Amino acid sequence: MAQATAQYDASSLVHLEGLEPVRKRPGMYIGGVGPAGLHHLIWEILDNSIDEAMNGHATEVRVTLHEDGSTVTVEDNGRGIPVDRHPKTGKPGVEMAFCELHAGGKFEGKNYATSGGLHGVGASVVNALSTKLTVVVKRDNFAWRMDFERGKPVTKLLKSKDPVRGTGTTVTFHPDPQIFPKIIFDAATIRSRIEVASFIHKGIKLSFDDQQSKTKEQFHHPDGIAEFLDKLTKDKGTRPVTEGIAKFEKVEGVEKFECVFRWTESTEEVMRSFVNGIPTPEGGTHEIGMRAAMLKALRNYIETHNLTPRGIKIEPQDAREGVFGLISCFIREPQFQGQTKEKLNNPEVQPFVENALRPLFEQWLNANGTSANAIIARIIAAARARQASREASDAVSRKTATSGRLTLPGKLSDCINAGKAGTELFIVEGDSAGGTGKMGRDRIHQAILPLRGKVPNTEESGLKKVLENKEYCDLVTALGCGIGSNFDPAKLRYERIVLLADADSDGHHITTLLLTFFYRHLKELITAGKIYIAMPPLYRIVIGKDTFWAADDDDKKAILAKHPGKKDETTRFKGLGEMDPKVLWETTLNPKTRRMLRVEIDDAIACDRVINELMGKDPSARFRFIMDRAEEAEEVDLM
């Protein structure tokens, strides 16, 4: 029998007024309340200032991260937000901009030819999600100030007593802890965004004042995205296959258009796209058009010059391997996917970019024969490597094609419910740790796969070479989902893959090697949230009748600090293999008491750069890393 429900009529409908919808559902406006959503508040205000500069009304934009790490100021020398009263509402323009959703000067296209913000939402959203926000406008020879708290004005628009020089807008805000669980801005993230903006808007001066580290930087790149392409190449630690770059700009029908290409020795494709200065990390129709133009131009060049290799079929992914490309276009009516503007949806942009860019790229290829032939040679090499990798992954597939436990690695201690929800594969180092894990695990849901010694570094290894290693081959077989072109997430045999290594430096190194393998060859498992890192204890601390587990030295110090003057008996585990199976279960395997980290990628570009610097062949980046942090090391294990 159905339960009685409350009466549902017109009185049940809730009407949220003003900025209440933003505070009620902030994720709809900034994508979430985590670090990305928190920093999105800065981007909204910063983009407004850049819009002023983009349309010729400002030359400088300054961002300040205050010493508390949670207050930000964005200042420009633009025209200043209007301060006169709106003819319909009677409210000052500043109040309209910061207190009314969909109130802005970018709808008609009269004040801004192009802009990143279009819906009049950004400033008011930031205001709604801040405990305090202050706006200072220099306009009409005076300074005007207005203060807000959680989206509501707490002062009137106040005019300065004395005249001031210049024009512009300054916004200072502090996010609301009632909305955001953690309010600490990351200086590196802010700096990166400002630096990227300086490349896209060449000629504009942007500066960042980090009052926490007492550093000030100014960014000014007159060569625009061509300089940006050089930076990306250096950050990736790779070398270009040609000296010059393919650069295109001034396409008819677009306010501003820039596009650059370069092929490198890297095994990945790096594409960055922007619309009206806004990064579009998920791409969109402009990026699709750019890729299509590139592929068709290359295909036509190969066919025209009869460069197709015998026995090798060139696929689109071969042309994209190693290419670094940037596209920045400014259009009057961009249609973004959501308020966070991560993807462009204008359907007319794709064919326009493709049709405009393809002939320009073909002309460049024909006019630069040496560079063009080097690019084609790079593409053919990628096709041959892909074919070799396919053959290697096919060999793995043949080994696992005959379903059943007989095809699984002999050292795998599988779980009873393999292939079902709630199952976990623990990857451990060595037979000793594998034996302890096998005895201490939950046999129904937990499988153990021991690896012999440290696995090879796969940062710059092709798939064929990777699968020649027995440990990696056994791991792929145990996972069951295949690899490379044969990857099928539906065939994954476990819900979680857990990296379980010793809690010392050697264990951390093994974990890093495995993370590199998954990032380069099974990245889909990371993005799907399948990869975890176990947190076994390094110390057992007995104080009186109580037992504590410390993950590292800092954890040990914190535990001992909480029990001053008390005698302790501290044991340092040499490895998982010497743990009692019951202890391993209680501290590391038991879902109710263990600690685990899920591997996530917050910033794909930064993540790729870190892995390349730490695991790549070039030692210079690691040398700089060590020298920059040498003073931070309290102890160095040289044994």
Catalytic residues: 429, 502, 504, 506
Give the pair of three-digit tokens for residue 254.
Answer: 């677009």
Give the helix/strand (H/E) hosting 435: helix 431-440
Q: Give the Å distances, CA to CA, from 220 to 85, 210, 247.
A: 37, 17, 20
Give the C-alpha distances (Å, rounded to integers) separating 129 from 41, 78, 176.
9, 25, 6
- Using CA atoms, how far apart are residues 286 and 511, in angstroms rounded to an integer? 39
Compute the 3-state secondary structure of the chain and give helix, strand, coil in percent, each to the nearest 5: 40, 20, 40
User: CA–CA distance from 52 to each of 285, 372, 456, 492, 524 (Å)?
Assistant: 26, 40, 52, 51, 40
**98 touches 135 (CB < 8 A):** yes
- Tell me 314's DSSP state: P
Please answer whether residues 183 and 70 qualify as being in contact, where contact means their C-beta atoms are separated by less than 8 angstroms. yes
DSSP string, 502-540: -SSHHHHHHHHHHHHHHHHH-HHHHHTT-EEEE---SEE
Distance CA 421, CA 413 (A): 18
Using DSSP, state whether 188 is helix, strand or coil: helix
Closest by alpha carbon to 442, among 419, 418, 407, 409?
Answer: 418
Tell the residue number behind the tokens 């985590």, with chain if given.
Answer: 34
Q: CA angle at residue 45 from 110 to 97, to 5 degrees?
A: 55
Strand 215-219 and strand 205-210: pairing?
antiparallel
374 phi and psi angles, rounded to 5 deg: -65, -40
Alpha helices in 58-186 (DSSP H): 93-99, 122-128
Quickly tell me which residue has 């743990």 as its tokens.
Answer: 579
The length of the chain is: 639
Sheet holding 270-275, edge to edge: 246-249, 256-263, 323-330, 270-275, 278-279
Q: Sign (positive/negative) of CA torsion 499, 504, 507, 511?
A: positive
- How deeply is 333 buried, as exposed, middle or buried, from its count of CB atoms within 10 A (0-12, 13-18, 19+)? exposed
Contact 190, 42 (CB under 8 A): yes
Across-strand partners of 62? Answer: 75, 207
Place of tokens 């590292």: 552
Name the nearest CA neighbour of 579 among 373, 402, 432, 469: 432
DSSP string for 408-429: S-TT-B--TTTTSTT-EEEEEE
Residue 92 near residue 79, CB atoms below 8 Å: no
Output phi, psi for 142, to 5 deg: -135, 165
| 513: amino acid identity, one letter | L
